[in-house]
Amino acid sequence: MLAKVYVTLKPGVLDPQGKAVRSSLASLGFLGVEDVRLGKYVELRLAETDPGRARAEVERMCERLLANTVIESYRVEVS
């Protein structure tokens, strides 16, 4: 199975990288960008074939390592 994990900063957590990207976009003339939030994308190829078990396993990985839940949240897609 393929698991896709999106790790993003929780709302309200300062994202200086996002701010820098937004200001670069503005300097390129893309003036309509109100906010930019950067995150991480992780792709995992799993031996597991049951979607439910795969998702549960990946969620445990997120809790333990892939995300720091003090400041980040995550979303898992399994296919």
Partner 1 sequence: MKVGVVVFPGSNCDHDAAHALELLGHEPLLLWHKETSLQGVERILLPGGFSYGDYLRAGALARFSPIMAEVGRFADRGGPVLGICNGFQILCEAGMLPGVLARNASLRFVCKHVHVRVEAGESLLTRGLRPGTVLRLPIAHADGNYTLDDAGLDALERSGQILFRYCDEEGQLSAGANPNGAMRAIAGVRSERGNVVGLMPHPERACEGLLGATDGRALLESFLS
Residues that bind partner 1 (CB under 8 A): 13-14, 16-17, 20, 40, 65-66, 68, 70-71
Question: What is the smallest separation between the CB atom of 50 and partner 1, expressed in angstroms?
Answer: 26
The separation between CA 50 and the C-alpha centre of its own chain, rounded to angstroms, equals 23
Nearer to partner 1, 45 or 64 (CB): 64
Residue 68 contacts residue 74 (beta carbons within 8 Å): no
Question: What is the smallest separation between the CB atom of 61 and partner 1, expressed in angstroms?
Answer: 12
Q: CA 46, CA 55: separation in Å to the nearest integer?
A: 10
Using CA atoms of 39, 42, 48, 53 in order, give the dihedral in degrees to the nearest 10: -10
Nearer to partner 1, 2 or 68 (CB): 68
Nearer to partner 1, 67 or 78 (CB): 67
- The pairing of strands 2-9 and 39-45 is antiparallel
Question: What is the smallest separation between the CB atom of 16 and partner 1, expressed in angstroms?
Answer: 5
